[in-house]
Amino acid sequence: MKDKNKIPLDVLRNKLQTQKKYRKPNQAIHTLLLCWIQHPKYPSPCRETIRRRILRDGFGWLKEEELPSFEAYIGYPLR
């Protein structure tokens, strides 16, 4: 996949942090991602897919197509 279609989780964490001001932003994004993945209503990549992305590319990321589902889950726009 082209790098321009990858949205790094660090970018999403930073955007969410500017809106919510979490005390532990790394833990917050991790928890939100895990809960989003487990929720049956919102389509998401599985935990194994996220893990493979981290191992292969050196960082976690979401596809452009996955972002609207994550935004709907957390209730905040991240673009």
pTM of the model: 0.90
**Domain locations along the chain:** 3-74
- For range 33-44, the mean pLDDT: 97
Banded pLDDT at 79 (limits 50, 70, 90): confident
User: Running DSSP on this structure, what letter comes out for residue 75?
Assistant: T
Q: 37: Cβ–Cβ under 8 A, 6 or more apart, which residues?
A: 44, 45, 46, 47, 50
DSSP string, 23-71: SSHHHHHHHHHHHHHH-SSS----HHHHHHHHHHHSS-EEETTTHHHHH
- For range 1-28, the mean pLDDT: 92
Proportion of the chain above pLDDT 90, given as a percent: 91
Residue type, 67: L
